[in-house]
């Protein structure tokens, strides 16, 4: 394991990093199995002292602070530019830590824990009075996750604390799936980045509220509705995840009401048969290019050769939606690196694994959808 300044991380836009530099962000490389302990021990010490450490999880990189220390948690909001009413997720590394932070564990939660923890599932419980208001945004509930990534597990266990952690990106940007993404957004603003390679799932955890009956999905993720229903029967889904939030239709996960996952370009989703989508996007690209805009297409392996835009990036094969999910945020960030003005993105099924992908794409497009006929 080596210690290097954050600017040395590959793909980091060092100019952007240096202009916002306020502190020295250390980067420790560690193997994804966490067998090398140096970075883990250093990170745990920083967390115990109230500092901020970004670390890999199986979903995306998280930005961690001591979950019992309100002041440390406030620093997460400052570093990310996160609105204070968007609560954090408490990450645990042993089931017995759950009893410290929640008032009760409903039977349905017990079943879901047995089936999906450790893993990419966050559950909403009634909170105990040990949890500071900075974690929950003053709500009476707390979000808890038990991640399965060996580096996350080792770090949390070594710190000996529940770790409050949202995604380790600047608020509004696509979530980070690599240490270089974290360095790009947060270098100079946090104490340390533990670089453990690419996040496996690439989309944030499924959030399920288990404090209501039936349990309700507040954010779709790798653990699908179908997988949850196999374990606990009927599961609801917050209708607000599909619509542009309004005063009447407020998402139950406060974070879902904010603009999210946006590259600098304007993103439009284009829906229809494969041929119609290709034709429509090519026609739109010609118009935009005539107007002096640089056009990008978020395509798939099956379709990528049919486009005549400036930059065409494939997120993976339609036959493997997990691959699309794992690559989505990285590809959205790549459009920024080549200064694209407009991105046209293909769409995916609104069900199964496609639900999480479409939820993130709709938010990144500000819910703009073009029908191709
Ligand atoms: P992030 O990890 O960056 O995706 O942010 C955590 C997500 O969990 C945000 O969308 C929050 O709104 C959501 N969240 C955290 N705590 C709660 C809670 N008590 N109730 C509902 N949603 C929550
Ligand atoms: Mg986030």
Q: Is the pLDDT of residue 13 over 50?
A: no
Q: Is the pLDDT of residue 63 over 60?
A: yes
Residue 18: CB partners within 8 Å, gap ≥ 6? 7, 188
DSSP symbols for 292-344: T--EEEEE-TTTGGG--SSEEEE---TT-HHHHHHHHHHHHHHHHHTT-SEEE
Averaged over 211-236, what is the pLDDT? 97
pLDDT-derived band of residue 1, with 50, 70 and 90 as boundaries? very low
pLDDT-derived band of residue 255, with 50, 70 and 90 as boundaries? confident
Q: Whose CA is nearest to atom 12 of ligand 1?
A: 255
Q: What is the pLDDT of residue 246?
A: 81
Question: DSSP 3-state assignment of 204?
Answer: coil
pLDDT-derived band of residue 15, with 50, 70 and 90 as boundaries? very low
pLDDT-derived band of residue 244, with 50, 70 and 90 as boundaries? confident
Residue 185: CB partners within 8 Å, gap ≥ 6? 168, 169, 170, 173, 176
Q: What does residue 125 show for φ and ψ, rounded to 5 degrees?
A: -120, 165
Q: Whose CA is nearest to atom 20 of ligand 1?
A: 253
Best of 73, 123, 136, 255 to mutate for ligand 1, by most ligand atoms within 8 A of CB? 255
The chain-wide mean pLDDT, for the chain, equals 92
Q: Is the pLDDT of residue 16 over 50?
A: no
Q: What is the pLDDT of residue 263?
A: 81
Q: Is the pLDDT of residue 7 over 90?
A: no
Averaged over 158-171, what is the pLDDT? 97
pLDDT-derived band of residue 243, with 50, 70 and 90 as boundaries? confident
**What is the distance in A from the centroid of ligand 1 to the CA of 119?**
16
Q: What is the pLDDT of residue 9?
A: 42
Q: Which residue has the higher pLDDT, 3 or 245?
A: 245
- pLDDT tens figures, 284-340: 999 999 999 999 999 999 999 999 999 999 999 999 999 999 999 999 999 999 999
Q: What is the pLDDT of residue 151?
A: 97
Task: Give the residues surrounding ligand 1 with Cβ less than 6 Å away.
Answer: 86-87, 89, 124, 136, 139, 141-143, 166-167, 204, 207, 218, 252-256
| Minimum-distance ligand 1 atom for the alpha carbon of 62 | 2
Q: What is the pLDDT of residue 247?
A: 77
In percent, the amount of the chain with pLDDT more than 90 equals 85
Judge whether 182 and 76 are in contact, CB under 8 Å.
Answer: no
Q: Whose CA is nearest to atom 22 of ligand 1?
A: 253
Closest listed ligand to the CA of 205: 1
pLDDT-derived band of residue 241, with 50, 70 and 90 as boundaries? confident
Averaged over 24-48, what is the pLDDT? 94
DSSP symbols for 67-78: TT-HHHHHHHHH
In percent, the amount of the chain with pLDDT more than 70 equals 94
| Minimum-distance ligand 1 atom for the alpha carbon of 256 | 10
**Of the spans 229-233, 238-242, 261-265, 364-368, which averages the highest pLDDT?**
229-233
- pLDDT tens figures, 94-139: 999 999 999 999 999 999 999 999 999 999 999 999 999 999 998 9
Q: Residue 16 class from Cβ within 10 Å (0-12 exposed, 13-18 middle, 19+ buried)? A: exposed
Q: What is the pLDDT of residue 17?
A: 35
The helix (H) or strand (E) run that includes residue 79 is: helix 70-80
């Amino acid at each position: 394991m080596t210690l290097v300044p954050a600017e040395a991380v590959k793909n980091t836009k060092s100019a952007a990093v240096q202009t916002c530099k306020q502190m020295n962000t250390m980067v420790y490389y560690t193997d994804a199995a966490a067998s090398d302990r140096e970075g883990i021990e250093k990170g745990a010490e920083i967390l115990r002292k109230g500092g901020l450490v970004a670390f890999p999880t199986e979903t995306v990189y998280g930005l961690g602070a001591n979950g019992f220390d309100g002041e440390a948690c406030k620093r997460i909001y400052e570093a990310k530019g996160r609105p204070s009413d968007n609560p954090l997720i408490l990450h645990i590394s042993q089931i017995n830590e759950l009893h410290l932070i929640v008032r009760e564990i409903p039977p349905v939660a017990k079943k879901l824990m047995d089936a999906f923890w450790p893993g990419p599932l966050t559950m909403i419980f009634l909170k105990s009075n040990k949890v500071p208001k900075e974690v929950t945004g003053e709500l009476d509930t707390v979000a808890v996750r038990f991640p399965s990534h060996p580096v996350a597990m080792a770090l949390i266990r070594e710190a000996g604390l529940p770790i409050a952690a949202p995604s380790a990106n600047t608020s509004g940007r696509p979530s980070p799936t690599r240490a270089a993404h974290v360095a790009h957004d947060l270098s100079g603003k946090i104490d340390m980045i533990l670089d453990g390679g690419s996040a496996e799932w690439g989309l944030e955890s499924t959030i399920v509220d288990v404090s209501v009956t039936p349990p309700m999905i507040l954010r779709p993720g790798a653990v699908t509705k179908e997988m949850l229903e196999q374990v606990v029967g009927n599961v609801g889904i917050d209708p607000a995840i599909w619509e542009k939030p309004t005063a009447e239709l407020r998402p139950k996960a406060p974070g879902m009401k904010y603009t999210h996952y946006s590259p600098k370009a304007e993103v439009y989703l284009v829906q229809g048969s494969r041929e119609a989508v290709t034709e429509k996007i090519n026609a739109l690209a010609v118009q935009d290019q005539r107007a002096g805009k640089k056009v990008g297409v978020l395509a798939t392996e099956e379709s990528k050769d049919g486009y005549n835009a400036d930059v065409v990036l494939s997120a993976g094969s339609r036959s493997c939606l997990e691959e699309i999910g794992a690559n989505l945020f990285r590809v959205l960030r790549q459009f920024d690196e080549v200064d694209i003005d407009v991105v046209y993105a293909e769409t995916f099924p609104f069900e199964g694994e496609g639900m999480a992908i479409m939820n993130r794409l709709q938010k990144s497009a500000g819910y703009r959808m073009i029908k191709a006929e």
